[in-house]
Amino acid sequence: MSLALSAVVVAAPAGADTSPSPSPSQVAVPAAPSITKVVGGLASGQLAVRYAPPASDGGAVVAGYEVTIDGGTTWWPCVGTTGTCTLTNLANGTTYDVSLRAVNAAGPGAASTVVSGVPSVPVGTDPDKPKKLPKNRAWTNATFKAAGNNLGVDGSRTKLGVGTLPQLTFTRSIPDKRVVESHLDVKAILQDGRVKRIKGAWGWISDRTAVFRPMKYWPGHATIMITSTLDRAVLGTAGRTAVVGSKNLASTWTFKTARKFVAKVDGQKVNMRVWIDGKKVKTFPVSLGKSEWETRNGVKVISTLKEADKTYTSESLGLGPEEFYELDAPWNTRLTPTGEFIHTAPWAYGRIGRYNGSHGCTNMFEQDAKWIFDKTIPGDVVLYQNTGGDDVQSWNGPGGLWNIPWDQWLKKSALGHVGSVDTTDSTAGSGGLQASA
């Protein structure tokens, strides 16, 4: 939605008393009006809010009306035709929650009951949706995956951590990726009912697949809604054939986030601090990777890859017999396929919280490692800083894509920059699962 959103509605109702107004202290605020219907407007990006004036309330005279959307704190004045308020500069295909209130000399009255509406584009007014589709056309559908960054869960069935990255994969290659991005709207319904637009960008990791990355992590305790108006949209031309969105792409996909869990691990302070919903709840001592085995910096994301018991061996790292070890550890939470875990390290108790000495893993006391093992869920974020190591590669685990610099991520978006879209598969890495210690 543009910040230039505007509204058009009533002046004083016909027949209103035009005699000199009493002082504000003598005037009662008006009661709430009643919204009778919210429908698409006459032009693209509009909603027409139809309403009935408030019932008589001790003689309170209505001087005008104001409107707000999505539980916001900004109220726009309405001027124009009695009984209808027209909102403009909205996103087509997006659901908006609308509320009205009446105002007079005493101030604003109570807000009306919230009613939802969806701006729709009149047929033929969206340049990407012509009235008459090309004769040579191929329909495309898409599959949505909430936990698109390989968290190991079905995001439609369980709440996720705030580091999850949703993914959309089409059944055909998309020639004009701008059309796709401009017909997808991402918002969050917060715990208190407010609706928040999410700032972020779609990044293409192939000609068929796009991943949405927020500029910041998702809000906790929220329902994330991705609304598509790609039905009948012409998504470019391949040869002489137009690729057109199927009717199934008039859809809204949702997933839910759990509490906002973010842990920060500092290699210089050799500790881990944990925040839940913005409140620091834990500080744990740790020991990270030693010289030449430095733990990687950057965002790492928890998945389902956890093991209550695990044996770490020097052989798995390709070390020679002079560095032989075989160590059993409980409560192992994997962070990367290249072998970084958070785990108990009984052999390292003397250095935990004092200095770094592992082969890249995060060594912890047993009760602390078990807390992480028990309390974290897929999508939870662990941010590493000051480790002395390189940054996490974009392909290295569920958190990888978070580590692409934002200006580089925008090059993967048709709306994020001018020029061709970088469709490199940033999730493609090498090798299978490894384990350090």
Tens-place pLDDT, residues 208-218: 999 999 999 99
Residues of the chain with CATH 2.40.440.10: 261-412
Instruction: Report how far apart, in Å, the C-alpha atoms of 37 and of each of 34, 84, 114, 122 are.
Output: 9, 9, 11, 18
Where in the chain are all domains bearing CATH 2.60.40.10?
7-117
Is the pLDDT at 73 greater than 90? The verdict is no
Tell me the per-residue pLDDT of 244-277, one tens digit each, with 9 for 90 and over: 999 999 999 999 999 999 999 999 999 999 999 9
| Partners of residue 284 on adjacent β-strands | 272
Q: What is the pLDDT of residue 193?
A: 84
Residues of the chain with CATH 2.60.40.3710: 137-256
Q: At the topology level of CATH, where does 7-117 sit?
A: Immunoglobulin-like (2.60.40)
Beta pairing partners, 117: 96
Q: Model's pTM, two decimal places?
A: 0.75
How many Cα atoms occupy the beta-carbon half-sphere of 6 within 13 Å? 4
pLDDT for the residue 130 = 92
Check residue 359 and give its pLDDT: 92
To the nearest whole percent, how much of the chain has pLDDT over 70? Answer: 90
- Please compute, for residue 376, the number of CA atoms within 13 A of its CA located in the half-sphere on the CB side: 30
Q: Please say if the pLDDT value at position 79 is more than 70.
A: no
pLDDT of 26 above 90: no
Q: Does domain 261-412 have CATH number 2.40.440.10?
A: yes
Local structure of 139: helix, strand or coil: strand
φ and ψ of 177, to 5 deg: -75, -20
Instruction: Compute the distance between CA of residue 241 and CA of residue 234 in angstroms, rounded to an integer.
Output: 10
Distance set, CA 149 to CA 110, 155, 254, 379, 401 (Å):
45, 11, 16, 9, 8
Percentage of residues of the chain with pLDDT beyond 90: 67
What average pLDDT does this structure show over 41-67? 80
Find the DSSP H helices in 232-342: none
> How much is the average pLDDT of 151-180?
96
Handedness of CA 360, 286, 266, 332 (dihedral sign): positive
Predicted pLDDT of residue 41: 72
Q: Which fold has domain 137-256?
A: Immunoglobulin-like (2.60.40)
Q: Per-residue pLDDT averaged across 154-170, rounded?
A: 96
- pLDDT tier at 23 (50, 70, 90 boundaries)? low
pLDDT digits 0-9 by tens, 391-436: 999 999 999 999 999 999 999 999 998 889 999 999 987 556 777 7
Whole-number pLDDT of residue 18: 44
pLDDT at 432: 64
